[in-house]
A and B are shown apart, each in its own frame.
Chain A
Amino acid sequence: MLVEEIMKIDVITMAPSETIGKALQLLNDHHIRHLPIVDDENQVIGIVSDRDVRDARPSIFDDSEPEEFENEIQTIMSHPVITVHPLDFVEEVASIFYEHEIACVPVTKEDKLVGIITEKDMLYTLIQLTGTNVQSSQIEIKVKNIPGILPKVTQVFGKRKVNISSVLIYPYKPDSSYKILVFRIQTMNPMPTIEDLKEAGYEVLWPNMPGMSS
């Protein structure tokens, strides 16, 4: 999946000379946590988070409008900014968030701002990848870690005309010569499929007997 498929294109931005007070207002009004700072050419020259803005305020117990709010936003912005390209992979963005401990990246094309991706967009995408957002039942199968096993297993589903909404593969920790396949299938009655899988010699980890489980 590409960044351009999940990025938001209506980005709230600020000019470097606008005030910190304005930033606070934008963050509150739009329920967002990041503001890219762009120049006249729409190039990203900095970014501020809600935390940066809060840190600029002397005390939360002081109700009066602090004079710091009149300062220009460029005095507190972070730069240089880590950005991604619309054609980057979503997985790469996840790695960037993890490695740099950040929660938002502007998306730029030919140095111009074209979109933004936040941690929340990322999580939403992951939820979709796991298939839990559509009606389905989950089946887990332990299989030999060898080439060609996946198509063999999916054939069983195909025969029953059961639609698969997602497939995840993860390592079987106790023994690396096995893997776990997780399928979400669009049926309320997975029993016939499970029977077929067992008959074909596969080890179905879930559903299983009471107490053995998960």
Chain B
Amino acid sequence: MAEHAGDVIMKCQAGFVYSDAFIQYHFRDDHPFNQLRVQMTKELLEAEKVLESEHFLSPRLATEEELALVHSPTYIEAVKKASKGALTEEEGMEFGIGTEDTPMFTGMHEASSLLVGSTLTAIDAVLEDNYEHALNLGGGLHHGFERKASGFCIYNDGAVGIEYIRKKYNYKVLYVDTDAHHGDGVQWLFYDDPNVCTLSIHETGRYLFPGTGNVTERGLKEGYGYSFNLPIDAFTEDESFLDLYESALKEIVEYFQPDVILTQNGADAHYFDPLTHLCSTMKTYERIPQLAHEFAHKYCGGRWIALGGGGYDMWRVVPRAWAQIWKTMISGQPFQGELPEDWRNKWQKQAPVELPTTWHDPEGLYKPIPRKAEITEKNKKVLANALQFIHNQKKYNHLSP
């Protein structure tokens, strides 16, 4: 990492986990979760000539033993059965398999195990090999539970990854989830663990799935004070989103002092996203990886693993948002200016909407939000409440001799 006065120029060693087989995690043609997003992002990065053959890491399959780090063996058996088409609708119900959100499909066990394996590949690259950062856009399936599929997620690769890090490396893990939906699966799996700190910023659960992620969910027993939630109001815009996120992340990193940072980079808080009601633009998605990058270097010797996640406007939002993660990993700076024409031309043929022409979103993407001041004020209160525990600790430590 080289620095010169003022502007920081960074050259980091980063790995990009990718396989054409990611696409096999496919529920149905009209299902909102589509891994074509990963291929689009990869091709966008190749068109920008920042992703070369030396960057690629081939993912492995997670073993059943690894899946069992967080999932119950009966659940894994059920997924395997469903994978072969041998699970009845009734049997699946108990495990959340065969619902509208997570329908059964042939090969679902293998496809899901690959996504978990790809996250483990990213982790090993950073913790074992010489990589500072690694990106696995195929992962980030944060709604998977111990014995239940939900919210488009079957196995929870992030959670398996965290437990894998805990067991194999005994590192303190900071999990940061910027998906517009609460990162419930990961939070509950480590709710009582003081060595795993979770931070999730998401649209309030008053209306949006999964409904949890209240600011009062702070952890349990020894893990109390190691779960942080920032449930922000519907129609929150860049400014307020980033204000909360940056302030919280800064204080939490300082307080928790992690050894490694794992980020879930769902890209569904964008104004265009059809499933959520937040009003972020690309500004948010340029800043999020910059912060992770900065703090990983400051606190963790660079150790940062980034995952994908939600993101349901896969034409206009996800490829740009995710490409910025990679660009930041290798250079510390986001892309600017025009999108490569070849890439646009290729995907425009398939897209039902007009693809953007630039990395940034134009001003005036949406009509001004009438309740902006109120939303900003409410979000500020959420921030104060979420950090209350840290502030109390500080005060207490300051008072005691």
A residues apposed to B, CB below 8 Å: 132, 134-139, 160-163, 184, 186-192, 206-207, 210-211, 213-214
A-facing mask of B348-379, CB < 8 A → 1, else 0? 00000000000000000011011100000000
Q: Which one of B99, B184, B208 lies within 8 Å of A186 (CB-CB)? A: B99
The interface residues of chain A lying within 8 Å CB-to-CB of B327 are none
**B interface, CB within 8 angstroms of A:** 32, 99-101, 143, 150-152, 181, 184, 205-212, 234-235, 274-275, 277, 279, 366-367, 369-371
Q: Which of A132, A162, A206, A213 is B205 in contact with, Cβ under 8 Å?
A: A132
Inter-chain contact A136/B274, CB cutoff 8 Å: no
What is the CB-to-nearest-CB distance from A40 to chain B, in angstroms, rounded to a whole number? 40
Nearest A residue to B275 via CB reads A189
B310 closest partner in A (C-beta): A188
Secondary structure of the B contact surface, majority rule:
loop
Assembly CA distance A186 to B149 (angstroms): 12
Chain A interface helix/strand/loop/mixed: loop
- 21 residue pairs bridging A and B, Cβ less than 8 Å apart: A135-B150, A135-B210, A135-B211, A135-B212, A137-B207, A138-B206, A161-B100, A162-B100, A163-B99, A186-B99, A187-B209, A188-B152, A188-B181, A188-B209, A188-B210, A189-B32, A206-B207, A210-B235, A210-B366, A211-B369, A214-B207
A187 touches B369 (CB 8 A): no
* B267 shortest CB reach to chain A, Å: 15
| Cβ-defined partner of A211 (8 Å) among B151, B235, B275 | B235
B279 interface neighbour in A206, A210, A213, Cβ under 8 Å: A210
- Chain A: minimal CB distance from B127 (Å): 32
Given A187-B101, A188-B143, also A135-B234 (CB < 8 A): no
Contacts of B274 on A, CB cut-off 8 Å?
191
Q: Once the chains are docked, how many angstroms separate the CA of A186 from the CA of B100?
A: 9
B369 neighbours in A (Cβ, 8 Å): 210-211
Q: List the B residue with the shortest CB-CB distance to A132.
A: B211
Given A188-B181, A191-B275, A211-B371, are A136 and B101 neighbors across the interface (CB < 8 Å)?
A: no
